[in-house]
Every structure is written in C-alpha cells, then in structure tokens.
Amino acid sequence: MIEDKNQQRTQLSDLGEFGLIDHLTQNFKITQSSTVKGIGDDAAVLNFENKRVVVTTDLLVEGVHFDLSYVPLKHLGYKSIVVNLSDVFAMNAKATQVTVSIAVSNRFPLEALEELYAGIETAANVYGIDVIGGDTTSSTTGLLISVTALGEVEANEEVYRNGAKSNDLLVVSGDLGAAYMGLQVLEREKEVYKVNPNNQPDLEPYTYIIERQLKPEARKDIPVLLAELGVKPTAMIDVSDGLSSEIIHICKQSEVGCDLYEEKIPLDPQVISTCEEFDIDSTTVALNGGEDYELLFTISQDDYVKIKANPNLTVIGHMKQASEGMHLVTRADTRIPIKAQGWKNFNA
C-alpha cells in the first residue's frame, strides 16, 4: 500500500490578506453586551455606557518570549490572550474584548495559524471575551503576536499601583515560581532531545509546573472574589516579571517600603521538589522567576479578617514607611534588600 505522506499544508499566499483574516476569525462569536460591532469594518465599535475603560497591550516575539520547539501553537495562542487579561484583572476590572495582530513568515502553513487561532478562540470562550479586531501580515522571519485587551470597571472601583499605605498588608493569590521551573524542565528536555531524539521524557512529576508555563491562567476570579468579600485593594499589580519586580513597582509608585516574609511565600510542592532537583533556591525562583500571572495587592489591616480564611490568598508581608526600604525577611530572620531581576530581554 502506498501511504499518503503529505501533511495538509496550505500556503498563506493562497488566501491573501483579507481571505486569511476572514478564514481565521470566522468562528469567533460576540458575547459581550459592550461590543456593538466586532471584526469587519475600519474599527470595532464599543459601548461601555458610563463605566471606566481599561486598555493594555503586550507583544510576544518568537525566539524572545517563546520557543516553538516545545510550545504548541494552540497553547501559545491561549497564553497570548491570558497574559493581557492578567493586566486587566490587575486593574480590578472585568475583561471584555481583545484585538489580536500577528506577523508571520511564509514558513508557517495555514494549518499552523489555525492552531494558533484555536488557542485564541479557546481563551476567548474560557474568559468570556470578544475578539473584535486585528491585523495579519507577513514577517521576514518568525512569528510575532500583538494583543491589546480592553476591560470595564465601575468608576472609582479601578485599582492602581500607587495607593498602598504604610501598615497595609501585602497579599498574593495562588502560588509563585511554578512557570519558571516549568521552563527549566522544558529546556532541559529540549537539550536531552537534541542528543537523543528517541528518548521519551517522563514529564509526569512536572505536570503542574509545565502547565503553568505553557498554559497559564489569569486570575479572573480575584476581582470577583474581592468584590464579594467587600475588599477594595489599595494597590494591585499582576506578577508577570517576578515578585521582587512587582513589589518594587508598588513601593516606588506608592512611596512606601515593605517587609516580605520568606516563610510566607506560597510555593507548590512540585516547585520545591524541582528546585531541589535543579539545585536552585526556591525563594530566588519565586522572587525573580516571573510569568506567574498571579495578582499581588495591598489591603488595609482592617480588611484582614475578610480575607484570612481564603485558600486563594496569602498574606506575605506588610508595607512600611518608604525610608525603611524594601526587604526580604529570611527564615533565619536576616533582612536582605529586595532588588529587581526579572527578565532582561535586551541583554545580549
């Protein structure tokens, strides 16, 4: 028997630019009442009534933010939406719409873009948002995804980075460091694969941390939860660059200091065990790893009773006078100044 070895591979040039956009977005549905007109005109038209509108944007670049040798395109599409929604939630807002633009080289067949857009569509469905526009163009090399996300929030319910006060409590959702350790495992397996492509990696012990890297979720639930608990944070930010970096943003913009307690930093058991395996300090990973997409916020001490029993939230420190500085208080009770590391994309 003769096998058909041709994988389906449609050239992008077969469709042209308009055909491509139409094809990729044909399944997208409008579900938000604020969307008057989505894709298909010079611009989308939205109606937020008297609510405040939040707008945020992010670029994801192949070879800088993702490596297609171990990131499935569907996951990448999903993640490209999630990282933007995380910024909307960090304003205490509800995410409502996104625009998605991609630049892509001819080496990608149509089927690859369909995978990418399937991930985008899944994220839109999971988070209940509308894809209202975008642009699709060729690039001379690689894949680049630019997403702009919009959200809505009642006037005066938005939360900035600059409202933290001395004595406020510092709170974080979920746990930290998992996405970074997931990346370490994926990069190790890539090296192993290069040496021996027949080696079947056992990724079972790393399921959680790999999922946190490849398919992160944004904390849509936290603004809702805080509203239910009757808590309005004094400042909020999402943890995309690492806990250190985000604490510094809040402290600088709010003109306060901070004590962060090492023993309070929430870590998943898989993060701890993988850190031991890689001989990396788990606190360093939580502080500098990034890509957690958890929410970091400050609340008045008066609100402590409202949040203390909630398993989604951990108090990890408290704010001080700016003159007292920003410190990590270690398990050994020493005080180490907090410095930003995070991602340095421009380093050669």
Measure Cα distances from 290 to 105, 155, 182 in Å.
29, 31, 11
Q: Give whichever of 151 and 274 is closer to a copy of itself, judged by the CB atom.
A: 151
Q: How far is the CB of 99 from a copy of itself (least distance, A)?
A: 5
Q: How far is the CB of 249 from a copy of itself (least distance, A)?
A: 9
What tokens were used for 339?
């410095």
Dump the DSSP string for 123-165: HHHHHT-EEEEEEEEE-SSSEEEEEEEEEEE-TT----SS---
Q: Give whichever of 73 and 144 is closer to a copy of itself, judged by the CB atom.
A: 144
Q: How far is the CB of 2 from a copy of itself (least distance, A)?
A: 30
For 169, the enclosing helix (H) or strand (E) is strand 169-173
Q: How far is the CB of 195 from a copy of itself (least distance, A)?
A: 25
Distance CA 301, CA 249 (A): 21
Q: Give whichever of 179 and 185 is closer to a copy of itself, judged by the CB atom.
A: 179
Q: How far is the CB of 171 from a copy of itself (least distance, A)?
A: 16
Q: Give whichever of 118 and 340 is closer to a copy of itself, judged by the CB atom.
A: 340
For residue 323, count other CB atoms closer than 10 A to its CB: 7
Nearest to 268 by CA among 199, 339, 230, 213: 213
Nearest to 178 by CA among 63, 265, 298, 114: 265
Q: Give whichever of 135 and 324 is closer to a copy of itself, judged by the CB atom.
A: 135
Q: How far is the CB of 246 from a copy of itself (least distance, A)?
A: 10
Q: Give whichever of 91 and 271 is closer to a copy of itself, judged by the CB atom.
A: 91
The residues that bridge with 130 in the sheet, in sequence order, are 97
